[in-house]
Amino acid sequence: MKNIAILSSGGDVSGMNPAIKEFVEYAFEKGLTPYFIYNGFEGLIDNKITKASHNDVAGIINRGGTILGSSRSKRFMDKSYREVAKKNLDALHIELLVVLGGDGSFRGMDIFYKEHGVKFCGIPSTIDNDINGTTYCLGVDTALNVIKESIDNIRDTASSFSRAFVIETMGRDCGYLALVSSLCSGAELCLIPEVKYDLRSYEESFKEQIKNGRKYFIVVVSEGIKDSSKDVAEWLEQKVGIEARVTVLGHTQRGGSPSIYDRLMAYKFINHAIDALLENINSSVICYTKNGFVYKNIDEVTSKKYMLDPELLSYIKKF
């Protein structure tokens, strides 16, 4: 019986727990012995590794976050700590690894594979949806639903008070969350790092809209834009002439019960990841593309920056 382990690395997402549950169940189904590594690569170094059982994953499918814990490990970038990690895996005869994380985690794993031959399959997991080569990353749908809920709530108060709201989403340098949320929540304006903008170009149209009876504006901005949300709110007050408030959604976007779509995607990602390792695909990321699930090598995934879908980009409102 081969031993296989799973860890979650980087920002947690809702969908990791359903993935961990399916990991245990599918591993047993395939005659493998499943192990948990706690706290990401930190736990690999610190030997926080235990055998997993069905009991460990009972009642977790509806929970956000990750029961394994996560980290952004600096130590794993250091060769000497990777040697410690390898020794820990060897002591338990673990040869196969499933990694829930982002491209940084996959790059680290690829180095580990090249140095020590530990076979792995990465599952793209980040609410930012910014991993090149996959159109979907685990956790995105749940995050979008959290954002949708928040914007719907804010719309209630915005319309009651005749105010503008600047709602800031996460996403680092990627505007995916903000763009999709703005389209699906009927926002008047969306600002993302991928699209150059000049606030002055909206002033006339916004003032005109107010004159014609518009009572409120919803502006969705991504955390990576050049201005702060406070600057955008100040612009609305000073140049457009409407009272404005800022809501930074922050880490609420990373929590919540995983959506149906994320539970299903978690299931599929895990099945493909374990299948890859059993088929001797040794160092890959399981990506979701318009042609379905495809294994991609690490260079393909990490060498290029993720680009927003041009069709999606074309929907952004221009005044």
Q: Site residues (CB under 6 A) for ligand F6P?
A: 11, 126-128, 170-172, 223, 254
As given in the structure block, the two tokens for residue 230 are: 């406070």
- CB closer to ligand F6P, 11 vs 65: 11
Helices H, strands E: what count in the chain?
11, 11
d(CA 260, CA 50): 29
- CB closer to ligand F6P, 63 vs 163: 63
d(CA 99, CA 94): 14
**Smallest gap, in angstroms, from Cβ of residue 126 to ligand F6P?**
5
- CB closer to ligand F6P, 205 vs 252: 252
**Smallest gap, in angstroms, from Cβ of residue 285 to ligand F6P?**
16
Residues found in the chain: 319
**Smallest gap, in angstroms, from Cβ of residue 168 to ligand F6P?**
11
Rg (CA), the chain: 22
- CB closer to ligand F6P, 163 vs 254: 254
**Smallest gap, in angstroms, from Cβ of residue 34 to ligand F6P?**
26
Residues forming the active site: 128
Nearest Cα neighbor of 130 from 150, 111, 104 is 104
Q: In the chain, where do the E strands start and end?
A: 3-8, 33-37, 49-51, 94-101, 119-124, 164-169, 189-191, 217-222, 244-248, 283-289, 292-297
d(CA 279, CA 1): 15
